[in-house]
Structure 1
Amino acid sequence: MGKTESLQDLAVQTLLEPAETLLKLSSLKNFEEEDIHDIRVASRRLRTGIPIFSSCFEGKEAAKWLKALKSLTNSLGDARDSDVFIKYLSRYENQPLTEIVERLKVSREKSYIFAKKRISQMHKSGILEDIISNLKEINCSDKNCYSLGLANICVRYSAVEKYSRNLDDVYDKTGHHKMRIAVKKFRYCLEVFSPLFDDKLSAELASLKELQDSLGKMHDFDVFLEKIPEIIRESVFEGADVDKILELQDLLLKSCRESRDRLYTETRKVWDRLNDEYYKEHLTAKFEENLPDCLKEMQSQKLMIVSDIHGSYDSLVKALNDAICRGVGGILCLGDISGRGDTDACLRLLKQNNAICIHGNYDLATAEIYWSSEFFKSRYDLKDSMKNISLESINEILTFPSRLRLKISDKRILMVHDSPAGGKERLGPKTPADRLACLADMSQADIILMGHSHLPFVRRVNEVLFINPGSIGNIKDSDARPSYAVLDVSTGEAEIIKLDDEFSEISSRCRLEDIHTEDRKKNAEMSGGIDDVFRLAEDLDINISHAAAVARLSSNIFCNTCGLHKLYEDDLTLLQYAAILHDAGWLMGKRDHEKNSYKIIMDLSLPVSSNDKNIIACIARYHRGNLPELNDPEIKDVSNTDLDRILRLAGILRIADDIANQTDMEEITNCPVINGRLEIFLSQKTDDIFLKKNDLFEKVFKYKVEVL
């Protein structure tokens, strides 16, 4: 088929063929290996495409389709794996191996019988006819396909990039498997939008197929390495010659390992080549050059710049009213509209005021949750943070581009969410001038608007104006008030506007500037008795540099997770004291040093009540990772409420201690909870931190933790 730019035509062109192929194949009486492969591919293409074009279908009906398609794909997995394993073993001419292959063929037949049953059920269910019928009668409101495509590939490629770091470990087979799945999903997604281009994205898809094939073969050998010992054991039980069969095992395992190592090297080369060739940048540029021209809609020269709303409807209303009073005539939104508040209401408000919007990383992460296995489940099955976000809002946000260029009064304006260089870079008031100068040179713009860091600032470098309006809904600035910016294009001047409101003092400490160290290089505003606590730590021969780092990181995590732990500012003070003194027990040696920390802290004179001192000592005592036992003397007189506080704070301390042991970076910029996981963003990107002490936090808060 030829090029198309209609959403409706694109849906039909990409979904009708796999649906008809699946219907035809499901009617067969007997299946060959190639048929199983084609059925799996067709079902995966439908599973990828239906969520993308969800606005064209009725939600409950699409949910039924996706559930049936996923069940079908999974049911064919054993049959496919059996075929691949048998084909590999059949390359060897060996009598014991011939007998093994014959046994595997018998087992494969069982897999095929099960697969035939599921395929037959799918054929009789009428679901495929239903999909085809809906596609032939499809009628959906048109959207810009390039914007939708750009958002989708950004989501999928971000997953590829996330798991690509697992390639650094040649033995991380689980990580390599996750990358294989991410690449496969990205490729299927890119195929959906290939009809938008004259070249059908053939070169881009060919590179992806090369990477996917290499990762897929590598995964096959990982599976072989697990299966070979199993079939050898079965052969021994069947009475095979032990010496011969063990010799055969050594031969097969050696061959698999060598093949796997070779494929790993090839995979690494392909991935490095894609990065060297700026694969992502060239691909996104193809979509971006076809984005709609929205410049004619922006007539006003006085603009409201807003970012990182995160569903905070009330704050957005106040900001808009304030901006209107200041005479703004247009609104530019830099992304991350979605969040724990009422995203639907925020989006409606922005649309009512004709805001020009781009999407942000949190918007993409929110979309990824919807694209998971729970895609069309009831809203009440989703996490609290998702309950005020409708599928329609997600789809609309995804049509916003990742960046936009405007031209107003001969001023070139670049809108991005994170950084002109991408990569989730966080730009703030402390970003070095030479870095901003580099970004100015590459951007070819007079004014650069960015958000993401939640840190408001206005700076001019090399005649280029940089504006970060801060955040409306998730404050990371030391001045804990929602903020936006007003830009007067005619004068080239901008101003950060802070909204007066009642906010927790905890939020105002989200950006602790420094913490006292022995040389006073890392001072921070903490509670009044902090100097006394540091002096006590010095007397106990505690490593002050490490203690200060742990205290700083603990404070950052605490302040960035207020909605998760639901504690108060007094608790922050206790956490800081515990972080400084947590290694006190080392004075008496490594053995039982956590218990000894408790005893030493209880003997200290601290500027707190006796109850709070016991809590501080318990935080240090239990940050080791194990939950308290009922008969522990340390918690004999501790109330259930205080015990809950202790475990929450100890979990935070243990994470901070783990990070401080692995990096000199002591600043955390954000800790969002995404898809059941707490993601801790350090001030600079690092791939070297792998948490070993996240167990207590995960037990207490029921969230996985990852440092990015």
Structure 2
Amino acid sequence: MRVSGVTPLWLAAPPLLALRVDDFFARWRQAQRTLDPEDIHDLRVSSRRLREGLLLFAPLYRPAALRQGVRPVRRITRLLGALRNADEALLFFRELAATAAPAACAPLGDLVGRYQQRRQTEAHHLHTALSNLHAGATHAALAKIVARPRVFSATALPIDPFMTIGAFAGESFAGRLAELLELVPAASREEDAAAQHRLRIAVKHYRYRLEILSFLLSDGYATIHGLVKQYQELLGTLHDLDVFAELVRQEGLPSATECVILETLAAHRRHHFAAFAALLAAHPFATIGEQVRKAL
């Protein structure tokens, strides 16, 4: 079915969600076969995009059925987290070891070795868990759920299922944008890592919503999406650096080595925060929101 901006919401939701469901399970099978870092990353992104789609169209579905459908997707997201963290740490510490001061090279090499072992353990755990979850049966159950939105109900629905998907998208983007704007002032303070983490999560939700509804946007979509993705990547790097710093503190490294690594991480963080602040100044979220509104 071809969906356009004037398609009623109840008709638009099932095919849009079906695309996300099919993408998720295709990536599940690919990641299960290879356990490749890129495939793991793609599956994790797909799981979050699907969950955002289910949240987006949740008012059209029975809450109990939706909870049943979301549960395995959320479980996959969580299972992937440990392996993704090991992959990111390995990549970062390998690069750091290649450019570190001589005194830090040996301890960093040991750290890389530890994460290689952790990666192998997490990969085995993930492969077993994915096999036990039975992708085929889970796919069929979730596809059945998304194919059956509520149109008529004995109780009032929280949304008009006959409104156009275009009108619904405008309201949806405005709601997500309001959440972003509330978080920006605190996240603009370099020392407030917790606020930057909250903004990172909100930006991810906004990006995935853009991707789900991208067919409604005019020629400006590529620019808008590129800016939002840039925000997400910068905030994601800030968060990763904070996580890596905590990992280093827990590894029991020699004091001098720990200080060298932590200062390197701090320098990377200052650099990426400066890039984030520059992006905020050049392309504030309010402007991006206005671009979305005009593109609809």
What TM-score results when the alignment is normalised by the length of structure 1?
0.37
C-alpha distance after superposition, 1:622-643 (max 9, x if no partner): xxxxxxxxxxxxxxxxxxxxxx
Larger radius of gyration: 1
What does residue 23 of structure 2 align with?
21
What does residue 157 of structure 2 align with?
none
Matches within 5 A, 1:172-191: 172-191=192-211
For the aligned residue pairs, the C-alpha RMSD in angstroms reads 2.6
What does residue 144 of structure 1 align with?
164
Q: Does the 8 Å contact 2:21/2:50 carry over to 1?
A: yes
Q: Does the 8 Å contact 2:87/2:119 carry over to 1?
A: yes
Aligned residues: 276
What does residue 199 of structure 1 align with?
219
Q: Does the 8 Å contact 2:217/2:292 carry over to 1?
A: no
> Aligned-pair distance for 1:88?
0.7
Secondary structure in structure 2 of the residue aligned to 1:278: helix
Structure 2 residue 116 is the aligned partner of structure 1 residue 105: yes
> Aligned-pair distance for 1:106?
1.1
Q: Does the 8 Å contact 1:23/1:129 carry over to 2?
A: no
Identical pairs, percent:
21
Instruction: Judge which range, 69-78 or 50-59, deviates more.
Output: 50-59
In 1: Cα distance, 2:140 partner to 2:39 partner: 19
What does residue 247 of structure 2 align with?
227
In 2: Cα distance, 1:161 partner to 1:270 partner: 15
Q: Does the 8 Å contact 2:224/2:291 carry over to 1?
A: no
Matches within 5 A, 1:204-223: 204-223=224-243
- Output the amino acid matched with 1:162: E
C-alpha distance after superposition, 1:371-427 (max 9, x if no partner): xxxxxxxxxxxxxxxxxxxxxxxxxxxxxxxxxxxxxxxxxxxxxxxxxxxxxxxxx
What does residue 189 of structure 2 align with?
169
Q: Which structure has greater helix proportion?
A: 2
Q: Does the 8 Å contact 1:47/1:69 carry over to 2?
A: yes
C-alpha distance after superposition, 1:112-166 (max 9, x if no partner): 2332333234335822222234456778554211221122112211121111112
Given candidates 120, 123, 128, the residue that maps to 2:131 is 120
C-alpha distance after superposition, 1:629-674 (max 9, x if no partner): xxxxxxxxxxxxxxxxxxxxxxxxxxxxxxxxxxxxxxxxxxxxxx
Q: Does the 8 Å contact 2:18/2:146 carry over to 1?
A: yes
> Aligned-pair distance for 1:108?
2.1
- Output the amino acid matched with 1:33: P
- Output the amino acid matched with 1:70: R
- Output the amino acid matched with 2:87: D
What does residue 270 of structure 2 align with?
261
- TM-aligned CA distance change 1:14 to 1:200, over 3 Å: farther
In 2: Cα distance, 1:230 partner to 1:60 partner: 42
Q: Which structure has greater strand proportion?
A: 1
Given candidates 66, 70, 73, the residue that maps to 2:74 is 70
What does residue 4 of structure 1 align with?
4
In 2: Cα distance, 1:149 partner to 1:18 partner: 17
In 1: Cα distance, 2:44 partner to 2:86 partner: 15
What does residue 45 of structure 1 align with?
49
- Output the amino acid matched with 2:13: A
Secondary structure in structure 1 of the residue aligned to 2:134: helix
- Output the amino acid matched with 1:256: L
> Structure 1 segments of 4 or more deviating over 6 A?
none
Q: Does the 8 Å contact 1:26/1:120 carry over to 2?
A: no
- Output the amino acid matched with 1:229: R
Q: Does the 8 Å contact 1:166/1:175 carry over to 2?
A: yes
In 2: Cα distance, 1:200 partner to 1:17 partner: 23
C-alpha distance after superposition, 1:587-612 (max 9, x if no partner): xxxxxxxxxxxxxxxxxxxxxxxxxx
- Output the amino acid matched with 2:118: S
Q: Does the 8 Å contact 1:2/1:195 carry over to 2?
A: no
Q: Does the 8 Å contact 1:23/1:123 carry over to 2?
A: no
- TM-aligned CA distance change 1:255 to 1:59, over 3 Å: same
